[in-house]
Structure 1
Amino acid sequence: MNPDMAKYMGLVVQNAFERDVIHGDAKSRRNFSPTGLLLSEFPLLTGKILGNWRKKMNTKNMENIYQQIADCLTDMIPEKWKKILLYAEVRDSYRKVYFYYYSFINKEPVYSLEIPIKFDGEDERFKKLENDLYDLFSELQSEFVRQQQDKWTHLTYILEHTGKMKVKFGYEDLSQIDPVEKQEKWEATYLK
C-alpha cells in the first residue's frame, strides 16, 4: 500500500469510483472516496494523494469486483435492507464469509445463514449466490496481489442502502484462532 495513502487513511481503504447500487426500486449514483465519503463533499480528496493512488492501481478491476459483491449481496437478501455488515477471511486453503443485515422492518440483525430458513424456497438460489460471494472475495484478494498491494487476510465490508460502502482490511495471521471465537469477537465489535 502506498505509504502516503496508508498514513492518510489508516487501515480503511477503498477504491474511489462511481457506481450504481440498485435496491428494490431505488437506484442511487454516488461518487465515493476511499473512506466512503462523497467526493463532492470533500473535493480535496481528489487532489494529489488520491490522484497518485489511482495511477498506481487499476481501479477499474477493483470497482468491478466491489460492484459485483454489492450486487450479489443484494440478490441474496429477499427483502429491503438498511445495512449489511460482512466478514470475509481468505487464506491458502480456507475461506469464510458471513454477513448480517438490518431490514427496515426489524431492529435485530438477520444472520446470512438464516435467510434460507426465514424465506422458504430460497435454499438453492442462496447456495449458488453464497458460492459466488466466496469466489468474489477470493478474486478481490487476488486482484490486490496482482496490483502489488499488501495481501489482506480478512476484512469487514459495510454497505448501506444508500450505496455508501466502507471496507476495513486486516493483515494478521488468524489461522490459529478458533473460528467461533473470531466470529464472536467480530459480532461484539460490529453488531452493537
Structure 2
Amino acid sequence: MNDEQLGILYQRIAEVVVDIIPEEWSKIYLYGEIVGGSQTAYFYYYPEGNDNPVYSHDITELFTVSESEYSEKWHQLVDAIQKLWREFKDNDQETWTNLTLILENSGKFNIDFNYDDLSNADAHERKTIWKYKHLGIMPKSNSGKRHLEKYLEMVGKENK
C-alpha cells in the first residue's frame, strides 16, 4: 500500500475535522465506521483550556453554525473515511470495520483500526463503549449502563 497516498488520506480526514470545529481545540477523538455498506462518523474535541469534551453533532446547537453547513462538512468527513477504507480494499489489505483517530493540536496523531465483525453489534452499544474507553464518559441511560457493564465483565474475563 502506498504510504504517501495514506498520508494524503489521513491529512484530508484531519483537515475536514478541524474545519468543522468552530473554536480553538487541544485534542480530537474521531470515530469512523464502515459496516455492510453503511457508514458513520462522529468526534469529540476538547476546547483549548477545557476538560469537557464537545460532541461533534452538538456544534450546531452550541455555535452559530447552520445545520446545512455542518451536514455538508460531515458528509465530506464520511467521504474521506470511505476513501481511506477503499484504499485498504483496493490494495488487498484487510478492511477494517472502524477506526479511532486521535489528533492533537500540535499535529501529532494516532490512528487505530479495528477489524471486529460488527454486523450483530448495536450502534448504541458500540458508541457507549467507545466513549467510555477513549473519553472516560459514563453512560447516562439505563441501556447504556447495561451495555457498559456487559462489556466490562467481558473484558474482565478476557484479562484473567
TM-score where L is the length of structure 1 = 0.68
Give 1:63's aligned amino acid: G
1:119 alignment partner AA: F
Q: 2:106 aligns with which of 151, 162, 171?
A: 162
Residue deviations 1:85-135, cap 9 Å, x none? Answer: 011110232101110000114210000000011112332211101000001
**Shift in CA distance, 125/147, structure 1 to aligned 2, threshold 3 Å:** same
The structure with more helix, counted as a fraction of residues: 2
* Matching of residues 48-87 of structure 1 within 5 Å: 57-87=1-31
How far apart, CA to CA, are the structure 1 residues paired with 2:119 and 2:38? 9
1:94 to 2:50 alignment: no
2 CA distance for matches of 1:184 and 1:91? 18
The answer to whether the 8 A contact 1:86-1:157 is kept is: yes
Residues 115 and 122, structure 1, Cα contact 8 Å, conserved in 2: no
In the alignment, the residues of structure 2 paired with residue 121 and residue 159 of structure 1 have an alpha-carbon distance, to the nearest angstrom, of 22
2:62 is aligned to: 118
SS at match of 1:130: helix
SS, match of residue 120 in structure 1: coil
In the alignment, what sits opposite 1:189?
Answer: 133
- Residue 80 of structure 1 aligns to which amino acid in structure 2? E
Cα distance in 1 between the residues matched to 2:74 and 2:114: 22
Equivalent residue for 2:94? 150
Give 1:146 shift: 1.4
Distance 1:121 1:131 in 2: 15
Q: Are 2:59 and 2:65, in contact at CA under 8 Å, matched by a contact in 1?
A: no
Give aligned pairs, total. 136
Unaligned runs of 5+ in 2: 137-160
